[in-house]
Amino acid sequence: MAVKNQNQLNGEIRDREIRVISSTGEMLGIMSSRDAQRLADEEGLDLVKISPTAVPPVCKIMDYGKFRFEQAKKEKENRRNQKIVEIKEVQLSMTIDVGDLNVKAKQATKFLEQGNKVKVSIRLRGRQMAHANLGKDVIMNFAERLKEIAVVEKPLNMEGRNLILILGPLKK
């Protein structure tokens, strides 16, 4: 998981004039890339182009290996702090009974408390397609049961033979 080398450094910098920042962070001004490279070599450090789109381009004298290490460390820390939200699915049927609906609601509650989204779906079979409004009532009843801990992220819609509603955890 190495950091991609997107910065030009040392001999790769071919610009006629560049703005140079020293290793301590002070502005050294605009000079030729050859002079800036000489200054970097005297300090035993690298000349790195940090802002190629600026006019003139901005280069900094730094230890490039250390810079890349710090960048990789920050990237790794950011990845660790990321929460991957999964979409868990709860399948209902048009003829579901109250007890079964409670069990499914309990399961959806568990998913929502873990921070995941819940996709509530009903597959309509055969003649059920003619009575899709009954399926909508079942899903809306289900969403009503979870309104204290969930918010509707994607409203109820029909995708092919399926009725789908997506619920997300309520922000605290």
Radius of gyration for the chain, computed over Cα atoms and rounded to the nearest angstrom: 29
- CA-closest candidate to residue 65, choices 109, 121, 9: 9
Beta carbons within 10 angstroms of residue 142's beta carbon: 22
> What pLDDT digit, counting tens, does each position of 67-123 carry?
899 989 999 988 888 777 789 999 999 999 999 999 999 999 999 998 899 999 999
Q: How far apart are CA 165 and CA 137, in angstroms?
A: 12
Q: What is the DSSP letter of 108?
A: H
**Mind listing the domains of the chain with CATH numbers?**
10-81 (3.10.20.80), 87-169 (3.30.110.10)
pLDDT digits (tens, 9 = 90+) for 16-56: 899 999 988 889 899 988 888 898 899 899 999 988 888 88
Q: Distance between CA atoms of 46 and 57, rounded to whole angstroms?
A: 16
Cα(58)–Cα(7) distance, rounded to whole angstroms?
A: 11
Cβ atoms of 11 and 47 closer than 8 Å: no
- CA 31 to chain CA centroid, Å, is 40
